[in-house]
Structure 1
Amino acid sequence: MMKQTLRNSVLFMIAILVASVSLNASAAVKKEKTMVVDATAYNSVPGQTDDDPWVAAWNNRLRPGQKVIAVSRDLEKHGLTNGAKVKIEGLPGTYTVRDRMNKRFKNRIDVWMEKDIKKARSWGKKKLKIVFKPVK
């Protein structure tokens, strides 16, 4: 009788542990968000940025080779703030939010294309899906 009770207690604890791990895994997946946004491109050149074209809105210094985006300020309330990691439909890799756009833009991301103005113009404006984990 004692062995049976001990065995049942152990099985019960294992079931609780499995359920807890399963719930935590589900919660982690739910933290990822998906949205459709307008996507444009920008460059680190005078006329497209502030005084220092290599320093972004949160004082991050942009460096060649980085995958960076700017976001419209309305997207910040969704967790797209400095350091958020973003996957962009049609582009390889993961981009990091490092810049923010002028208040006049809404529901938009701006893909940083360093100094390549021709590439940015060729990119144009698109509606794309993004997937990201919000920064708290």
Structure 2
Amino acid sequence: MKLQLTLIACCAVLIGCSGGNPREVTATAYNSVKAQTTIDGDPTLTAWGDTLKPGMKAIAVSRDLIDDGLTHGTEVTIEGLPGTYIVRDKMNKRWDNKIDIYMGNDVKAAREWGKRTVTISWVEKD
């Protein structure tokens, strides 16, 4: 019985580490360039006040995803991309079920990414 409980606990930890809440979303990409920010805005400053730097694994999320638990600082895995991304920015209210992947100053990489449907996973914060 003790071994079974240990195995169940280990499985729960492994499932939690791999991410929960899988969800299919539209994914685009964005950069720290003036053309992609508000008029006279700082292209490195996010809506939550974080400063973006090239090389950061950051995403912006649509506001409906925030309501579903993808809040500021949440770690997210994105199908097809290595590593973990952090929610650092939020998108305009006009978007739904969408993420924007930060690609530093590499406009070419963002254009090559284009618009895709991906599955994301995250573990909600307590």
- The question of a shared fold, defined as TM-score above 0.5 by the shorter chain, is answered with yes
Q: Identical aligned pairs, as a percentage?
A: 47
**What is the aligned-residue RMSD (CA, Å)?**
2.3
Moved over 2 A (4+): 18-31
Residue 88 (structure 2) aligns with: 98
**What residue ranges of structure 1 are gaps of 5+ in the alignment?**
1-13
Q: Please list, as runs of the form range in 1=range in 2, the aligned pairs for 1:33-112 lying within 5 A after superposition.
A: 33-50=21-38, 51-112=41-102
**What residue ranges of structure 2 are gaps of 5+ in the alignment?**
none
Give the secondary-structure state (helix, strand or coil) at the position aligned to 2:64: helix
Matches of 2:45 and 2:7, distance apart in 1:
42
Give the secondary-structure state (helix, strand or coil) at the position aligned to 2:94: coil
Matches of 1:86 and 1:129, distance apart in 2:
10
Higher-Rg member (1/2): 1
TM-score, structure 1 as length reference: 0.78
Give the secondary-structure state (helix, strand or coil) at the position aligned to 1:47: helix
